Amino acid sequence: MTNLIKKYWFVSLVVIFLFVIIIYFVYDTNKDTLSGKKVDGNDVVYTINKIDKTADELYTDLYDKYGIATIYNKLEQAVANQAIETTEEMETIAKENSQTIISNFESQYGDTYEEQLLSALKQVGYSKVDDLETYLIQIQKITLLFENYLNDNPELVQTYIDEKSPRIVSHILISMEDPNNPTQEELDIVKKVEEELEAGEDFGVVAYNYSDDTASAQLNGSLGYATKDTQFVPEFLEAMLLLEENEVSDWVKTNYGYHLIKVDSTSLKELELVDDFYTDIYSYYPNMQSEAIWEKANELGIDFKGNKELEIKLKKYLGISE
């Protein structure tokens, strides 16, 4: 269910998917031994930006019901909400996407859609269907947190680019029953494609008119975002990685037929507009998400009230070595 929420969220906004590596707390092992600040007789587990979070709020309301995943989702919310203000634009985007998600859940699950949606929301730390818009605002805030972190650490992006060679790619496929022995009819189409491109026709237009990859042809030949790890056939991948921006390959023979490959863009400005670019970066740096949240929590003044054991467990879980 969570993946379905993310799927429709990505339609309208370039975002980072759900971040589950976040501040975490195992309170059940030392509930009775914590010392320090109290609010209405309850132990304060931590304070962030002068806002207290008590043990009873975490343990009784969350841990007993949903387990530790919900606790660190709730703490993630605290960091994002303290760091990023809610804007009217965020609210508008959340409302629009909420309607889309609900409509798709209704179409897929019928009368049980609310039950299914609630189940999905509980997985990310929310307890009511009405929390959907709040959740979508939360995603936008976390997106900004991580984009800001990348902007402050441009070397991370450059290292990823150097290693993975990301690019936006198009192609034209002339399919063949036997690529090693093309028929005259197939070769005539190859020649026609060559003639139109040599005459200056746009690659996308030629792809739309002639490519036998019907899915990409409808997108003017676009295959979208690709890297050295994309699951293309070896001959195609090798040829693609040799191309510079706006360069078109010679014909590349694969089991599918003959391909012309074009790299539409390798520029950072263009790549940043593609969802998969950020998705891939976060996969490349598995600890970066927790590091960014930890950094922001420290900026906001997270305070464990002398609970050193808690702080050690938190850092270990997040992979923080400071």
Predicted confidence (pLDDT) per residue in 35-82, tens digit: 444 445 555 655 555 666 665 555 445 444 444 455 566 667 788 888
DSSP 243: P
- 123 phi-psi bin (left φ>0, alpha ψ -120 to 50, beta other): alpha
The CA radius of gyration of the chain, in Å to the nearest whole number, is 25
Q: Which regions of the chain are under pLDDT 70? A: 1-75, 304, 309-310, 313-314, 317, 322
Contact call for residues 292 and 282 (beta carbons, < 8 A): no
CB neighbours (10 Å) of residue 96?
Answer: 15
Please state, rounded to an integer, the average pLDDT across all residues of the chain. Answer: 80
pTM of the model: 0.69
Q: Which two tokens stand for residue 116?
A: 């299914």
Q: Which two tokens stand for residue 33?
A: 């031994």
User: All domains of the chain, ordered by start, with CATH?
Assistant: 2-156+273-318 (no CATH), 167-265 (3.10.50.40)
